[in-house]
Amino acid sequence: MRGNALAEKIIVIDEGTTSTRTMLFGADGIPLGSAQREIRQHYPGPGLVEHDAAEIWEATLACTREMITQAGGADHVAAIGITNQRETVVFWDRTTGEPLAPAIVWQDRRSAADCAALKEAGHERAVQAKSGLLLDPYFSGSKIGWALKNWPQLHEANDRLAVGTVESYLVFRLTGGVHVSDASNASRTQLMDINGAGGWDADLCALLGVPTPLLPEITGCTTRVGTTDPALFGGAIPICGMAGDQQAATIGQACLSPGQTKATFGTGAFILSASGTVRPVSNHRLLATVLVQEGDVRSYALEGSVFVAGSLIKWLRDGLGLLANAGESEGLARSVADNGGVYLVPALTGLGAPHWRPDALAAISGLSFATTKAHVARAALEAQAYQAQDLKSAFAADGVDWAELRIDGGMAANDWMVQDLADVLNLTVERPDFVESTALGAAMLAATGAGLYPDLASAAASMRGTATRFTPALEPEKRKTRLAGWQSALAKVLG
């Protein structure tokens, strides 16, 4: 480990879908503190999900200030790392930094018709070859194209309009005007050619209706992109670690060698297998994405994105009033011998990998008078394992057999769900004792960018902590019956 002993703490800004969180780490990866604020979710209509970027910025500022105080001042902070909900797009005024429109969240389906038309016109294969992604409203490009067509204020802003994903907006505000995006986030826009030189691709931008001058410059994930405006925190702190939250979690779990796989159960569930420096190609509806770029060296991952995981439990609690708190789901699942024939297909915002059906609607099937809320809660938790199993099959068909699975995210605290995951996948599941892998991954990137470690692999080796293993224990017949039940419930939803 190298560097100035005074400034060896790292602050991570973890900008998730439902909350802004900052964490303070020692250079050895030990967490020293955290601050958190909820982010309001706006649902202006079916399929529409928006955030207020000004609220995100205010929350980031407040939470970062708390960590700077805990660190003992800006002089004690070697670097800031940023990790974020991906694909969400922010539109802002370059002269003021103020948002010009709502941020369109990754879950938003408003560009579904545009994507369907492009698919119909036969563009998907070419889009996938360049971007690694399929045509779906999930990705940023079609959201930006939709906004430019429908929000006149963006045209009125002319040259003042800047567009970017959440990390890009935060860097702009933190530095007072640097407009960049790291390669892992850029790879989720569907506007980047992830092959070769790796820049914005003129054909993809034209297809999705996005003029390139609006977009940030693409940088590496450990590149020092600027320093914080001294007026914000009483010092100029380097920002030198950035990655989308799922890539950051993969790094935080030290899944850097080809085949190493992690699953994060946050708002959604995202499973990534590291592919090394050779870009993967999926024939089974998975995504090829940039895992990390150090300098000019890019490495990739194969990804399966499931849109609904923790948000299902939140919906059972807030939407249906079935649970008093998320933790209650574990006790309810344990209180019944089995799911009682109940299956919950959580297509609350369409279905992602491997189905890619933005039009799919959620369903609870197998209900009878014998059904209790415990069966529904259990079905909701079981759905996590079934969705992961569907991805396991798709990864295997693409030639990536998981040897074990490292998991993290808020839902991973639920021991019943983790054991069920091991049982249904018939695989050893490993959960780190410090489950904030996303923040830890961003800390590893920032520590590398700040020169505290010679490279990311060394940072990951030194900063990763201990883990607990869950081994499969379900009888094969029971597993088969449960998976068959899921497949028939899923088939009804897919129609």
Residues in the site for ligand G3P, rule: CB under 6 A?
16-17, 85-87, 106, 244-246, 266-268
Q: Cβ closer to ligand G3P: 232 or 243?
A: 243
- Cα-Cα end-to-end distance for the chain: 56
Q: Cβ closer to ligand G3P: 99 or 244?
A: 244
Q: Cβ closer to ligand G3P: 65 or 314?
A: 314
Residue 347 C-beta: closest distance to ligand G3P, Å: 16
Residue 279 C-beta: closest distance to ligand G3P, Å: 19
Q: Cβ closer to ligand G3P: 226 or 352?
A: 352
Q: Cβ closer to ligand G3P: 86 or 355?
A: 86
Residue 150 C-beta: closest distance to ligand G3P, Å: 23
Q: Cβ closer to ligand G3P: 71 or 166?
A: 166
Residue 441 C-beta: closest distance to ligand G3P, Å: 12
Residue 325 C-beta: closest distance to ligand G3P, Å: 19
Q: Cβ closer to ligand G3P: 294 or 303?
A: 303
Q: Cβ closer to ligand G3P: 106 or 343?
A: 106
d(CA 445, CA 439) in angstroms, rounded, equals 10
- Identify whether the C-beta of residue 165 lies closer than 8 Å to the C-beta of residue 140: yes
Helices 373-397, 328-335: crossing angle, 10 deg rounding: 100
β-bridge mates for residue 56, sequence order: none
Residue 14 C-beta: closest distance to ligand G3P, Å: 9
Question: Which phi-psi region, left, alpha or beta, contains residue 105 (left: φ > 0; alpha: ψ -120 to 50)?
Answer: beta
Q: DSSP characters for 204-236?
A: HHHHHT--GGGSPEEE-SS---EE--HHHHSS-
d(CA 145, CA 111) in angstroms, rounded, equals 8
Pick the closest to residue 426 from 468, 466, 478, 490 (CA basis).
Answer: 478
Pick the closest to residue 200 from 277, 190, 208, 209 (CA basis).
Answer: 190
Residue 474 C-beta: closest distance to ligand G3P, Å: 27
Tell me which residue has its CB nearest to ligand G3P.
266
Q: Cβ of 107: how many Cβ atoms within 10 Å?
A: 26
Residue 22 C-beta: closest distance to ligand G3P, Å: 15
Q: Cβ closer to ligand G3P: 83 or 175?
A: 83
Count of residues making up the chain:
495
Tokens of 77: 């902070």
Tokens of 410: 């808020």
Whether the upstream peptide bond of residue 354 has omega within 30° of 0, thus cis, is yes
For residue 90, the Cα-to-chain-centroid distance in whole angstroms is: 16
Which helix (H) or strand (E) segment holds residue 68: the answer is helix 53-71
C-alpha radius of gyration, the chain, whole number: 22
Residue 318 C-beta: closest distance to ligand G3P, Å: 16
